[in-house]
Amino acid sequence: MIHCEELVKIFKTDEIEVVALRGLNLTVNKGEMMAIIGSSGSGKSTLLNMLGGLDRPSAGQLRVGEWDLLKVTEEQLVEYKRSTVGFIWQNNARNLLPYLTALENVEVPMMLGGKVDRAYAKQLLEWVGLGHRMNNKLQQLSGGEQQRVAIAISLANRPPLLLADEPTGSVDSQTCDTIMSIFRRMNEELGVTIVIVTHDLSLAGKVDRVIAIRDGLTSTEFVKRNELLDAVVEGSEVAAAGGGLRIKGGRHEEFVVVDRAGRLQVPKEYLEALQITNKVSMEFDGESITIRAPKSMEGTKND
């Protein structure tokens, strides 16, 4: 569904040039439900905006389904956003029109697509648990209910890809669980590919795969080993990237991502523990690779 290779995004003004993505590689399979995590400024929201057609890549490859997002025209980009991708913002004000009912809000993207399917719009609101609230105006709905309306809107034109930017960031934990259950149902029953950008590591146990982005590059990947339950995550985002995500009933298996040129991002806390700065010593014994601080830098037992 998604293929990024050596993806670069540079923001330029008259005096400043900021490199947000610096050769990012990422593949997401059709029907997958996965999350992207990273600290502020890591590039995760920039990636999501490019996948949603809201920003153009500067260089590299970015394909979503049959679309090459480096080569599409402006007219094709409009069609892409209407037919291929649904987007959920953290801020409800960016998803919803306050003077319309929940049902009318779901029908708006259908109007833009040229065909209103009221029966399907009602079905979407039933799926997100708002069948009894479809004729209510937004001021009559709670924040969690408004976010569920936003999910229904994102699926109004039956897109194969759903992008969610911090979808649970402004709701309580119970509503968060409800929203994630809705995502899982949409993923399993409709086959929608779902990519969630979040800083909330407790969501990690509710998706199949987690990609950590650091300094504009994919650094670490966590893949669910078994059918696991809710996440119990301790420590910071960096700690999770180094020590694995602890999940009830098992673990996510951790991988450091290697790009086509053989480059990898060693977790920051590993480097700090060995006091490694800009170079390492590497040995290959025929079966495994050992990375350690150079002899002149390491202590008595520093591998």
42-57 tens-digit pLDDT: 888 899 999 999 999 9
Strands across the sheet with 209-214, in order?
85-88, 161-165, 193-197, 33-37, 209-214, 217-224, 250-256, 246-247
What is the DSSP annotation of 224-258? Answer: E-SS--SB---S-HHHHHHH--EETTEEEEEEE-B
Could you give the CA distance from residue 10 to residue 8 in angstroms, rounded to a whole number?
7
Report whether pLDDT(243) > 70.
no
- Structure confidence at residue 225 (pLDDT): 60
In angstroms, how far is the first alpha carbon of the chain from the final one? 40
- Choose the weakest-confidence range: 67-76, 167-176, 281-290: 167-176
Contact 123, 189 (CB under 8 A): no
* Residue count (the chain): 303
Task: Give me the mean pLDDT over the 268-272 stretch.
Answer: 77
pLDDT greater than 70 at residue 246: no
Domains annotated for the chain, with CATH where assigned, are 2-84+159-264 (3.40.50.300), 266-303 (no CATH)
Q: Which residues contact 58 (CB under 8 A, 6 or more apart)?
A: 8, 9, 10
Taking CB atoms within 8 Å and a gap of at least 24, the contacts of 229-236 are: 229/205, 230/202, 230/205, 230/206, 231/201, 231/202, 231/203, 231/204, 231/205, 231/206, 232/205, 233/201, 233/202, 233/204, 233/205
Give the three-state DSSP class for 48.
Answer: helix
Residue partners of 255: CB distance under 8 A and separation at least 6: 220, 221, 222, 223
Mean pLDDT score, 114-133: 93
Residue 227's pLDDT band (cuts 50, 70, 90) = very low
Q: For residues 274 and 293, is the Cβ–Cβ distance under 8 A?
A: yes
Q: What is the pLDDT of residue 39?
A: 79
Kind of pairing, strands 85-88 and 161-165? parallel
Which of 84-98, 124-138, 177-191, 265-279 is the least confident region?
A: 265-279
pLDDT of residue 241: 41
**pLDDT at residue number 154:** 93
Give the strand pairing for 17-28 and 2-12. Answer: antiparallel
Structural tokens at position 296: 């002149």
pLDDT confidence band for 251 (50 / 70 / 90): low
Asked whether residue 301 carries a pLDDT value surpassing 50, the answer given is: no
Confidence of residue 204 (pLDDT cuts 50, 70, 90): low
SS3 for 34? strand
pLDDT at 135 over 90: yes
Structural tokens at position 62: 């970015």
For residue 181, CA distances in Å to 102, 176, 227 come to 20, 9, 15
Q: What is the mean pLDDT of the chain?
A: 82
Q: Higher model confidence: residue 266 or residue 232?
A: 266
As a whole number, mean pLDDT of residues 172-188 equals 88
User: Mean per-residue pLDDT for 220-247?
Assistant: 45
**Residues of the chain with pLDDT > 90: what percent?**
42
| pLDDT number for residue 228 | 37
Largest CA distance in the chain: 72
Report in angstroms the alpha-carbon separations of 4 from 48, 93, 160, 192, 247. Answer: 12, 30, 17, 19, 29
Section 252-256 average pLDDT: 71
**Within the chain, where are the H helices?**
44-51, 74-83, 102-113, 118-127, 143-154, 173-185, 237-243, 268-273
